């Protein structure tokens, strides 16, 4: 009997893990196909033209900061949409004798969040493609800088709007007050009715009547049932109100954290991109002294943030985004150096022709590497931020299976929709939309990680781990290093308490 139960637990864990792993792996091929299309010669021309202006380091930092900005902004947009829908649901729910259907809450909020993430990613990707095509890296850098400057003031505006929205959503509390008054009136009427019956019974006994009248016994039983029913309704209403307020407070906490995250997390990597690009604009884009300045700048900013006594989630992600931008810039430079070193071993070519050919190949390789690594970093960022949503949802008793399967179903629908609308979205819009889908799949994968970590059943936890690995291997591309990295960041961020 025990063995049968353990097998069922393992099978359930494996099934849920396989769902989360499969949808995470299913995004690999569309992203790789889109990346291959974006690295064609015609699409790379703006980057190849601008690498001469901002240098390889500048190109890497700008592309990295832009891609990570898309990822972070689209995730926050999705969270905001989900929070607005959830807050409206909670605020307008009846906190009386009828318990709200919280399954609808999570379903509607999840759908709104996934749509918000995907649509915002598609919009930002399309805008970046237009900016790069018309204004180059300089225009993209200016847009990125302006966006980073505007986000902190917009945070204040959004917080004011959120407070106003909370003040307007009073229907739920009005319903609660009405039902509470009705319960109090019913309770008072019942007490008065019982008091009258007691007085009548006392008078009957004093006048020599029967103390055990059948009608009186029936009345007392009826009144007792009414009393028990009123007490039960009051208890249920109070519990529903407490649950509503707790959920509303949690939604508000999530909103505050993610709005802060949107406002400040992109500043470190934007500063790095601006500094290195300015060196490139002044003619030092290919000089190794810029690399030294970049390392020093990253170290100073990271140290300043990490020593903060009030360390917050946006600081963690901001540091990771800045370090990812640094790695992208490093790989961009290394790609060009590899071409140059390889060409030094080639002989039998005219010197002038060789120099021109090597320069063009270095530019081409660096541009491809900058775009490729930026998309990969943005994908990991989306996956990890999605996991920070899925993990807490499971820990807050939203239902592990519901979150895993629900996010996976929404991801499949969105993935199909992006493929159908790809001619309209363009390559940049499609890339941004796919990153949004990756974020939604990260919710499912993060829920699997949280479920396995907090499960008291070892068979279910082991089955979930085996299932998620199996799902990735079956549905994804067999990039084993990327699989290991994806699983690692998913688990770490799913278990991170961002709130």
Question: Which helix (H) or strand (E) segment is 86 a member of?
Answer: helix 41-91
- 430 is a domain residue: yes
- 203 is a domain residue: no
- 251 is a domain residue: yes
pTM as predicted: 0.83
pLDDT given for residue 392 in this prediction: 83
* CA gap 384, 398 in Å, rounded: 20
Structure tokens at 50: 């601008």
Q: Which domain holds residue 95?
A: 2-174+241-494
* Angle at CA of residue 87, ends 81 and 93, nearest 5°: 135
pLDDT given for residue 97 in this prediction: 44
CB 437 within 8 A of CB 411: yes
- 207 is a domain residue: no
* CA gap 461, 458 in Å, rounded: 5
pLDDT given for residue 7 in this prediction: 84
- How many domains is the chain partitioned into structurally? 1
- 191 is a domain residue: no
- 180 is a domain residue: no
pLDDT given for residue 102 in this prediction: 63
Burial (0-12, 13-18, 19+ Cβ within 10 Å), 47:
buried
**Residue partners of 465: CB distance under 8 A and separation at least 6:** 17, 452
- 114 is a domain residue: yes
CB 21 within 8 A of CB 445: yes
Residue with tokens 């505050």: 256
- 217 is a domain residue: no
For the chain of 499 residues, list the mean pLDDT of each consecutive stretch of 10: 74 90 90 83 76 83 90 89 82 55 74 90 90 86 91 84 65 55 64 63 61 58 67 70 76 83 88 88 72 87 83 84 89 83 63 64 85 90 89 73 87 90 86 91 90 81 89 86 89 79
Structure tokens at 95: 């906190």
């Amino acid at each position: 009997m025990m063995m049968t139960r353990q097998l069922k637990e393992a099978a359930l864990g494996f099934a849920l893990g396989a769902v989360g792993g499969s949808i995470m792996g299913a995004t690999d091929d569309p992203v790789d196909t889109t990346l291959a299309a974006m690295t064609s010669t015609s699409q790379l021309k703006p980057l190849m033209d601008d690498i001469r202006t901002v240098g390889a380091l500048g190109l890497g930092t700008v592309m990295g900061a832009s891609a990570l900005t898309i990822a972070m902004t689209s995730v926050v947009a999705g969270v905001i949409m989900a929070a607005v829908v959830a807050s409206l649901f909670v605020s307008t729910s009846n906190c009386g004798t009828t318990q709200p259907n919280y399954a609808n809450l999570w379903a509607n909020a999840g759908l709104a969040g996934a749509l918000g993430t995907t649509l915002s990613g598609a919009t930002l990707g399309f805008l970046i493609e237009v900016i790069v095509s018309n204004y180059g890296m300089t225009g993209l850098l200016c847009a990125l800088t302006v966006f980073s400057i505007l986000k902190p003031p917009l945070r204040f505006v959004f917080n004011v709007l959120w407070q106003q929205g909370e003040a307007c959503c009073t229907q739920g509390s009005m319903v609660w007050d009405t039902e509470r008054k009705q319960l109090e009136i019913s309770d008072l009427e019942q007490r008065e009715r019982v008091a009258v019956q007691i007085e009548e019974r006392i008078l009957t006994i004093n006048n020599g009547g029967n103390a055990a009248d059948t009608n009186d016994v029936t009345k007392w039983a009826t009144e007792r049932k009414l009393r028990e029913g009123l007490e039960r309704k009051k208890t249920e209403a109070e519990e529903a109100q407490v649950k509503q307020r707790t959920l509303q407070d949690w939604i508000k906490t999530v909103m505050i954290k993610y709005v802060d995250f949107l406002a400040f997390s992109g500043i470190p990597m934007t500063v790095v991109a601006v500094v290195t690009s300015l060196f490139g604009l002044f003619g030092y884009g290919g000089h190794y002294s810029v690399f030294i300045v970049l390392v020093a700048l990253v170290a100073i900013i990271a140290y300043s943030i990490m020593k903060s006594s009030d360390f917050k989630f946006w600081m963690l992600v901001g540091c990771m985004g800045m370090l990812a931008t640094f790695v992208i810039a490093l790989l961009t430079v290394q790609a060009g150096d590899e071409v140059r070193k390889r060409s030094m071993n080639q002989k039998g070519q005219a010197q002038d022709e060789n120099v021109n050919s090597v320069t063009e190949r270095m530019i081409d390789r660096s541009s491809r590497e900058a775009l490729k690594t930026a998309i990969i970093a943005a994908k990991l960022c989306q996956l990890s931020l999605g996991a920070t949503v899925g993990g807490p949802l499971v820990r807050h008793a939203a239902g592990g299976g519901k979150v895993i399967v629900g996010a996976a179903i929404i991801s499949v629908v969105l993935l199909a929709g992006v493929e159908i609308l790809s001619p309209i979205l363009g390559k940049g819009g499609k890339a941004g939309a796919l990153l949004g889908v990756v974020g939604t799949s990260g919710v499912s994968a993060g829920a699997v990680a949280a479920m396995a970590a907090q499960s008291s059943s070892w068979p279910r936890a082991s089955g979930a781990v085996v299932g998620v690995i199996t799902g990735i291997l079956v549905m994804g591309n067999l990039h084993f290093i990327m699989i290991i990295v994806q699983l690692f960041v998913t688990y770490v961020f799913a278990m991170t308490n961002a709130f």
